[in-house]
Amino acid sequence: MIGRGKGEGRTARRGGAKDHGTRPGNEDRTAPRGRRGSRSAGRDRLRPARLSPLDHLRTGASGLRARPTRVVLSALGIAIGIAAMVSVVGISASGRADLEATLARLGTDLITVAPGSTLFGGNATLPEEARGRIDRMPEVERTARVESVGGANVYRSDLVPKAESGGIGVYGVDVDLLDTLRAETALGEWFNGATADHPAVVLGASAAERLGVTRITPDTLVLIGDVYFAVVGVLEPVELAPELDNAALVGQGAAEELLGATGDASMVYVRVDPERISEVRELIGRNANPERPNEVEVSRPSDALAAGQAADRTLQGLLLGLGGVALLVGGVGVANTMVISVLERRGEIGLRRALGATRGAIRVQFLVEAMALSLLGGVFGVALGAVVTLVFALVRGWPFALPWWAGVGAVAATVAIGAVAGLLPALRAAAQHPIGALSAD
Amino acid sequence: MSVREESGGREGFRETVPAVEFVGVSRVHPGGVRALDGVDLRVERGEMVAIVGPSGSGKSTVLNLVGTLDAPTEGTVRVFGHDVGALDDGALSALRARSLGFVFQRFHLAPNVRAVDDVADGLLYTGSPARVRRTRAVEALTRVGLADRIDHRPHELSGGQRQRVAIARAVVGAPALLLADEPTGALDTASGAAVMDLLHELHRDGVTVLVITHDRESAALAPRRVEVRDGRVVADSATVSVSAREGRS
Ligand SMILES: Nc1ncnc2c1ncn2[C@@H]1O[C@H](COP(=O)(O)OP(=O)(O)OP(=O)(O)O)[C@@H](O)[C@H]1O
Ligand SMILES: [Mg+2]
């Protein structure tokens, strides 16, 4: 009754001809069930069966399922390393996405032209006709100029001591400035033709904060020099012209009339055809000051924004290095776990050999186990890294961005680490003598 | 020797290739210990042989050689006609997977694995698909009387039940030759007797069984007894056992 019962199924399962188990003593009983046959000695070639990939996977995973705590602990090192690397990539990608969004909003077609210094180190000035000549360049779409008015301090009232004026700069500006910079008002409004010549002022974002201007009423006044100006508006931060954030902007007419402005431009903001921006950069200095083009300073504020982003690279490199070290330590942890596992499971190895596992099958089993262990850490690490990136992006108000290759790369890296870490233990397991393994401990 | 004569007498009807054949087999361990010393042995298909002898006499060595888990240092071991010394690892593994079943004193059940999965692993290296392995495992567990325990894990089973799971795993692939090294060594008398009954049943169904036992009673019940001492076969009740078997069938 035992072992026999299903004679037919047995034969089929073995593919018929491979049966060495022809039993001489039982012909009469077994023959009618069809499992006898006149097979001879069973000297047919012996070929080990191949395990399906799924069986390899299942067998490799079985070792992990039996020891969950150890799995978690040894996968942790890998997880931390991968999480560090993924979050570095994710955070920098999110930062870049934010920068790109900002640049798309602000445009990369803004150029500033300012007087530089003379050959002898003195302050140069822009010629009066500079703006007009720039305006006439065919690539230029629009311009706006500002004049820095020296010597005029800004206070909320005459009761505030001079020392607390906060270094707020005063600029005489054109009405065009707002549109040229694509700046926006947070409170009140920008100048119009009427207010530009009156003692009216628009404050930059941080200047308004320092002066304590949080709302605008008809009697919100600030003192510039010794003249009271009515605050008509407050700007949002101007990313392409951060110098205007801590500034009080007055109409050019009022600046000349009331604050002694001279009419010399201290900066010309130029919007150009984005396709031809590099040509413009070459030519604009000569147009602004044909006699001394080297006394003109031309720059592109969007470059400065991008450069600020690039400055984070050192930190990124450091974090990536740390992640790499964690990953290395994690790999050593996996190797260590596998070595112990092989020692502990000598009985299992011997048993599997007795059940017909080839050395190759044992090798694959432990290799798969190491790779699965490492992969587990990797997948967890990618998830953790994504969460860190998400939180960071939320805090910074960035869009979340994590390039797909970071996830794929991390997973591939962990599988490779697992393979390397598991190689030696797997070879050892396969080399183990089945008897030694069975009679162990 | 007498077995050979026996088989000669039944020439026209039985296979000429025995299940096991030892010719001048010695096994010398690196330290110089002669675990076996020039053993000749022949076990026909369908026999049940009890190997007895004092501790350290070489019983396990014999079984390991038959099971191709070990190789002789001198002489030839043939299992179903295959010269074990001439086979590579792949062929030996195939032989074990298809034709041999092992039962150990310590059951070697995987911790925390359900009986049915453990038994199914007995077929893992035969290349049968998972579904088939499971079906056969349930059948094998039913055959050893554990139909109601298929989902139990080792710690939920008694020692005797564990050994029966191990036997189910050994026979799930329907091996032609079952090797049991003190299968009752870790069991009480009653469970031990149940396990021996199981082996006898398998034998009756046509499986060749080699069992090492310290238990005089179980040994006495075996159709053939081979006694090993100091690495040599000192007694073999072959003639008696074969006659007994013939009388039965
Ligand atoms: N790996 C080994 N290295 C050295 N000597 C060994 C080794 N394995 C077994 N022996 C020796 O070989 C001899 C036979 O051992 P074996 O295990 O076959 O005995 P046994 O009859 O099964 O004993 P028991 O009844 O105690 O299980 C013993 O003297 C033993 O010490
Ligand atoms: Mg022994």
Chain A residues within 8 A of B46 when measuring between CB atoms: 23-26
A-chain CB neighbours of B144 within 8 Å are 2
pLDDT at B27 over 60: yes
pLDDT at residue A164, rounded to an integer: 59
* Weakest-pLDDT range from A159-173, A214-228, B33-47: A159-173
Three-class DSSP category at A295: helix
Q: In this structure, are A286 and A420 located in the same domain?
A: no
Confidence band for A41, pLDDT divided at 50, 70 and 90: very low
Distance CA A81, CA A377 (A): 9
Domain boundary at A299, A330, A362, which?
A299
**What is the model's pLDDT at position B54?**
93
Among B106, B132, B249, whose Cβ lies nearest the Cβ of A25? B249
* Ramachandran category for residue A234: left, alpha or beta (phi over 0 → left; psi -120 to 50 → alpha): beta
Range of the domain at A135: 109-299
Question: What is the DSSP track for A234-280?
Answer: EEPP-TT-GGGTTEEEEEHHHHHHHH------SEEEEEE-GGGHHHH
Same domain, A280 and A144: yes
Judged by CB atoms closer than 8 Å, whether chains meet at A66 and B17 is answered as no
Q: Which of A50-59, B30-39, B214-223 has the lowest mean pLDDT?
A: B214-223
Residue A14 domain-assigned (yes or no): no
- In this structure, the answer to whether residues A315 and A423 fall within a common structural domain is yes
- What is the per-residue burial (b if ≥16 Cβ within 10 Å, else e) of B126-155? bbbeeeebbbbbbbbbebbebeebbebbbe
In a domain, A223, yes or no: yes
Which chain A residues are Cβ-neighbours of B245 within 8 angstroms?
25
Chain B contact for A26 (CB, 8 A cutoff): yes
Last residue of a domain, one of A243, A272, A299: A299
Burial (CB < 10 A; 0-12, 13-18, 19+), residue A384, is: middle
How many domains is chain B built from? 1
pLDDT over 90 for what percent of chain A? Answer: 28
Nearest to A359 among B89, B127, B201 (CB): B89
Closest C-alpha among A318, A404, A411 to residue A371:
A411
Mutation for B interface: A8, A19, A23, most B CBs within 10 A? A23
With a 6 Å cutoff on the Cβ, whether B33 touches ligand 1 is yes
The per-residue pLDDT for B8 is 40
Q: Are A136 and A212 within one domain?
A: yes
Q: Are strands A267-272 and A110-115 parallel, antiparallel or unpaired?
A: antiparallel
Residue A7, pLDDT score: 39
Dump pLDDT digits (tens) for B104-137. 888 889 888 999 999 999 999 998 999 999 999 9
CA dist B145 and A370 (Å) reads 38
Mean per-residue pLDDT, B48-64: 93
Q: Distance of CA A173 to CAs A64, A203, A238, B231, Å?
A: 71, 12, 15, 110
Q: Name the residue with higher pLDDT: B231 or A194.
A: B231
Residues in chain A: 441
Checking if the pLDDT of B82 tops 90, the result is: yes
Please give the Cα distance from A223 to A316 (Å, whole number).
Answer: 46
Q: At what angle do helices B159-171 and B189-204 cross, to 10 degrees?
A: 20
Q: How many alpha carbons lie under 13 Å from residue B176 in its C-beta half-sphere?
A: 29
Per-residue pLDDT at B9 exceeds 80: no
Q: Residue range B43-58: average pLDDT? A: 93
pLDDT at A13: 39
Summarize pLDDT for A166-190 with one digit per residue, the tens.
688 899 998 888 888 888 898 888 9
Residue A312 has pLDDT above 70, yes or no: no
Question: Rounded mean pLDDT of A327-354?
Answer: 91
Residue nearest ligand 1's atom 17 by CA: B60
C-alpha–C-alpha distance, residues B69 and A381, integer Å: 43
Q: What is the pLDDT of residue B29?
A: 92
In this structure, chain B runs to a length of 249
Measured CA to CA, the distance from residue A211 to residue A191 in angstroms comes to 20
- Contact residues, chain A, for B194 at CB < 8 Å: none
- Assess whether the C-beta atom of B241 lies below 6 angstroms from ligand 1: no
A87-108 pLDDT, tens digit per residue, is 988 988 888 888 888 888 877 8
Are residues A321 and A257 part of one domain? no
Residues A128 and A64 grouped into a single domain: no
Of A246, A245, A265, give the one whose Cα is nearest residue A255.
A265
Same domain, A124 and A96: no
Share of chain A above pLDDT 70, in %: 86
Task: Residue B151: give the domain boundaries.
Answer: 3-248
What is the mean pLDDT of the segment spanning A133-155? 85
Q: Does the pLDDT at position A15 exceed 80?
A: no
DSSP string for B19-40: SEEEEEEEEE-TTS-EEEEEEE
Higher-confidence residue of A149 and A424: namely A424
CATH no. for residue B69? 3.40.50.300
Out of B64, B94, B175, closest to residue A48 by CB: B94
Which tens digits make up the pLDDT trace of B185-221?
Answer: 888 888 888 889 989 999 999 999 999 998 888 888 8
Q: Is residue A3 part of a domain?
A: no
Please state the φ and ψ torsions of residue A435, each to the nearest 5 degrees.
-70, -45
Q: What is the dihedral of CA B109, B196, B64, A425, to 10 degrees?
A: 0
pLDDT exceeds 60 at position B240: no
* C-alpha to C-alpha distance for A355 and B169, rounded to whole angstroms: 9
Cα(B124)–Cα(A273) distance, rounded to whole angstroms? 71
Residue A261 CB neighbour total at 10 angstroms: 22
* Residues contacting A57, CB < 8 A, separation 6+: A368, A372
d(CA B161, CA B17): 35
Do the chains contact at B201 and A21, CB–CB below 8 Å? Answer: no
Task: Please check the confidence at residue A121 and state whether its pLDDT lies above 90.
Answer: no
- C-alpha distances (whole Å) from A122 to each of A118, A125, A244, A366 are 5, 10, 24, 75
Instruction: List the residue whose alpha carbon is closest to atom 9 of ligand 1.
Output: B35
Task: Phi first, then psi: give them for residue B14, nearest 5 degrees.
Answer: -110, 160
Domains identified in chain A, total number: 2
Check whether residue A181 and residue A291 sit in a common domain.
yes
| A137, A282: one domain | yes
Q: Does A427 touch chain B (CB under 8 A)?
A: no
**Quick one: closest CA in B to A25, which residue?**
B46
Structure tokens at A399: 């869009």
What is the structure's pLDDT at B37? Answer: 93
Final residue before a domain boundary, out of A265, A299, A333: A299
Residue A360 sits in the same domain as residue A283: no
Cα torsion through A8, A14, A19, A25, rounded to 10: -30
Other CB atoms within 10 Å distance of the CB of residue A44: 12
Alpha-carbon distance values, A241 to A236, A261, A424, B231 (Å):
11, 21, 61, 97
Which of these, B135, B127, B22, B11, lies nearest to B76 by C-alpha position? Answer: B22
Mean pLDDT of A347-360: 93
Task: Give the integer Cα–Cα distance in Å for A222 and A120.
Answer: 39
Cβ(B29) to ligand 1 under 6 A?
A: yes
Mind giving me the DSSP string for chain B? -HHHHHHHHTTTTS-SS-SEEEEEEEEE-TTS-EEEEEEEEEE-TT-EEEEE--TTSSHHHHHHHHTTSS--SEEEEEETTEEGGG--HHHHHHHHHHHEEEE-SS--PPTT--HHHHHHGGGGGGT--HHHHHHHHHHHHHHTT-GGGTT--GGGS-HHHHHHHHHHHHHTT--SEEEEESTTTTS-HHHHHHHHHHHHHHHHTT-EEEEE---HHHHHHSSEEEEEETTEEEEE-HHHHHHHHHHH-
Strand-pairing partners, residue B103, are B180
Most trustworthy range by pLDDT among A96-105, A118-127, B90-99:
B90-99
Judge if A358 and A414 occupy the same domain. yes
A264 and A169 co-located in one domain: yes
Instruction: Select the residue of B98, B104, B139 nearest A6 (Cβ to Cβ).
Output: B139
Is there a contact between A266 and A128 (Cβ–Cβ < 8 Å)? no
* In-domain check, residue A16: no
